[in-house]
């Protein structure tokens, strides 16, 4: 089997789908690996390192690839779509492959008869944990969000005892206690802040408190998570009670980090403009849901703005700002997924549509789309 590691072309994307350490493991498993020149440079991995790991560094190798490894979904560049470069019938492993909502991607996948597998659709089951890209990237985003907040706040996070008196610790409010939220809580606590965590799922209370934070939630009157363990949309009445609770907590907070996402849907609106107006002057909001519409009504994706005296950050692709380790983690997930597909005896990729993991990720195969409308 021949695998090709593509250089990312999306603006601001510094990650790479394979690093020298994972290339070495692929080669030992019997996979022939080729890397596009410069593919890892933005993440801190030189072409020479890939060669030492056993890979060929050659853009022309794409023409012979059985499987192409990427981070971002293929894009149109000038007059040519990235998928036009792939050999007909090849497999593509990447993030964000949504042919049902991208007409050109849909057409190209069918035209080129590409087998496309979207890693962000990995199911949340025990045997897929080492392939869980969303959790790997969410950990990084949660950590980095606190550093952004600390830099923007203009106050100390920890309590300080000085000759001039005591400096009280910053109060950090984290909305959403998934992987990103829990990492944000842990990081803010390590910096010495007083932290409060909020989530619509009562089951995460113990996790939040184990990190030294206070947990707040409305009384559970309905199921707030789906069968995969992700948060789901709640009723209008439950949403109203949540907003009231969030509004009260925000008034007393120096920093709010929002992480709430509902898969395949717009991010839930948790912080309204009126709530922001009631916050302390100089407070900070870091909206990790900016790319999916934002948890804060005033968030502008990709921008840092000030509204009602509150600094609001809407970072996009935040994990790319830590490209070295983000690439390491992503590449390990890719490696585990690729080896899950790899038929070692036949030395080829074997896409088993009956496998629970493969079925969840498979979006196109043999000229047809695989996911339901």
For residues 275 and 296, what is the distance between their CA atoms, to the nearest angstrom? 9
Residue closest to 8 by CA, chosen among 362, 334, 323: 323
332 is catalytic: no
Q: Is 139 exposed, middle or buried (0-12, 13-18, 19+ CB in 10 A)?
A: buried
pLDDT at 222 over 60: no
**What pTM was estimated for this model as a whole?**
0.92
Residue 76, by phi and psi: left (phi above 0), alpha (psi -120 to 50) or beta? beta
Q: In the prediction, which pLDDT does 79 show?
A: 83
78 with 12: CB under 8 angstroms?
A: no
**In the predicted model, what is the mean pLDDT of residues 88-102?**
94
Q: Is 368 exposed, middle or buried (0-12, 13-18, 19+ CB in 10 A)?
A: exposed
Paired residues of 117 in beta bridges:
93, 362
Task: Given the residues 58, 98, 110, 135, select the one marked as catalytic.
Answer: 135
Question: What CATH class is the domain 138-316?
Answer: alpha beta
**If you search the block for the tokens 């959790």, which residue do you land on?**
135
Q: In the prediction, which pLDDT does 221 show?
A: 56
pLDDT at 339 over 80: yes
pLDDT at 232 over 60: no
Who wins on pLDDT, 234 or 219? 219
For residues 82 and 94, what is the distance between their CA atoms, to the nearest angstrom? 13
Task: Given the residues 64, 84, 100, 129, select the one marked as catalytic.
Answer: 129
78 is catalytic: no
47 is catalytic: no
Task: Given the residues 76, 124, 190, 243, select the one marked as catalytic.
Answer: 124
CA distances from 238 to 77, 152, 242, 266 (A): 45, 32, 6, 18
For residues 140 and 138, what is the distance between their CA atoms, to the nearest angstrom? 5
Percent of the chain clearing pLDDT 70 (strictly above): 95
135 is catalytic: yes
342 is catalytic: no
pLDDT at 228 over 60: no
pLDDT at 231 over 80: no
Task: Given the residues 110, 189, 230, 347, select the one marked as catalytic.
Answer: 230
**In the predicted model, what is the mean pLDDT of residues 329-341?**
97
**Structure tokens given for 314:** 């809407």
Q: How confident is the model at residue 224 (pLDDT cuts 50, 70, 90)?
A: low
Q: Where are the beta strands (DSSP E) in 32-164?
A: 32-35, 56-57, 67-69, 76-77, 80-81, 91-94, 115-118, 160-162
Q: In the prediction, which pLDDT does 220 show?
A: 61
Asked if the domains at 2-121+322-369 and 138-316 fall in one CATH topology, the answer is yes
Q: In the prediction, which pLDDT does 291 show?
A: 93
Going from N- to C-terminal start, the domains of the chain cover 2-121+322-369, 138-316
**DSSP letters along 189-208, please?**
HHTT-EEEEE-S-GGGHHHH
pLDDT at 208 over 60: yes
258 with 279: CB under 8 angstroms?
A: no
Residue 12, by phi and psi: left (phi above 0), alpha (psi -120 to 50) or beta? left
Q: Is 188 exposed, middle or buried (0-12, 13-18, 19+ CB in 10 A)?
A: buried
Q: How confident is the model at residue 234 (pLDDT cuts 50, 70, 90)?
A: low
**In the predicted model, what is the mean pLDDT of residues 46-61?**
97
Residue closest to 55 by CA, chosen among 39, 78, 72: 39
Residue 73, by phi and psi: left (phi above 0), alpha (psi -120 to 50) or beta? beta
Task: Given the residues 66, 132, 254, 287, select the one marked as catalytic.
Answer: 132
Question: What CATH class is the domain 2-121+322-369?
Answer: alpha beta
Mean pLDDT of the chain: 93
122-153 pLDDT, tens digit per residue, is 999 999 999 999 999 999 999 999 999 999 99
Phi, psi at 168, each rounded to 5°: -75, 150
8-17 pLDDT, tens digit per residue, is 999 999 999 9
Phi, psi at 70, each rounded to 5°: -135, 170
């Amino acid at each position: 089997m021949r695998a090709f590691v593509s250089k990312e072309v999306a603006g601001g994307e510094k990650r790479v789908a394979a690093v020298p350490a994972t290339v070495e493991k692929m080669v030992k498993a019997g996979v022939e690996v080729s890397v596009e020149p410069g593919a890892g440079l933005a993440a801190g991995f030189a072409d020479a390192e890939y060669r030492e790991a056993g890979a060929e560094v050659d853009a022309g190798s794409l023409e012979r690839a059985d499987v192409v490894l990427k981070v971002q979904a293929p894009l149109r560049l000038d007059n040519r779509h990235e998928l036009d470069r792939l050999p007909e019938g090849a497999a593509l492993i990447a993030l964000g492959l949504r042919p049902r909502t991208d007409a050109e991607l849909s057409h190209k996948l069918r035209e080129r008869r590409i087998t496309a597998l979207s890693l962000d659709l990995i199911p949340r089951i025990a045997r897929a944990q080492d392939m869980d890209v969303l959790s790997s990237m969410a950990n990084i985003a949660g950590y980095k969000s606190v550093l952004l907040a600390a830099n923007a706040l203009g106050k100390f996070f920890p309590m300080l005892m000085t000759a001039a008196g005591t400096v009280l610790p910053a109060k950090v409010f984290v909305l959403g206690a998934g992987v990103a939220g829990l990492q944000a809580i842990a990081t803010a606590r390590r910096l010495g802040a007083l932290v409060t965590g909020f989530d619509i799922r009562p089951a995460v209370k113990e996790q939040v408190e184990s990190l030294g934070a206070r947990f707040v939630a409305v009384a559970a009157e309905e199921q707030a998570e789906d069968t995969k363990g992700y948060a789901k949309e709640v009723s209008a009445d439950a949403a109203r009670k949540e907003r009231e609770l969030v509004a009260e907590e925000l008034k007393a907070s120096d920093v709010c980090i929002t992480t709430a996402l509902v898969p395949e849907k717009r991010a839930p609106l948790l912080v309204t403009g009126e709530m922001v107006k009631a916050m302390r002057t100089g407070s900070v909001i870091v909206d990790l849901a900016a790319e999916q519409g934002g948890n804060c009504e005033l968030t502008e994706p990709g921008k840092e703005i000030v509204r009602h005296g509150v600094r609001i950050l809407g970072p996009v692709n935040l994990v790319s700002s830590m490209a070295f380790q983000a690439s390491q983690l992503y590449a390990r997930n890719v490696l585990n997924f690729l080896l899950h597909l790899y038929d070692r005896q036949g030395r080829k990729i074997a896409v088993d549509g009956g496998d629970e993991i493969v079925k969840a990720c498979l979006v196109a195969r043999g000229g047809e789309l695989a996911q339901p409308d």
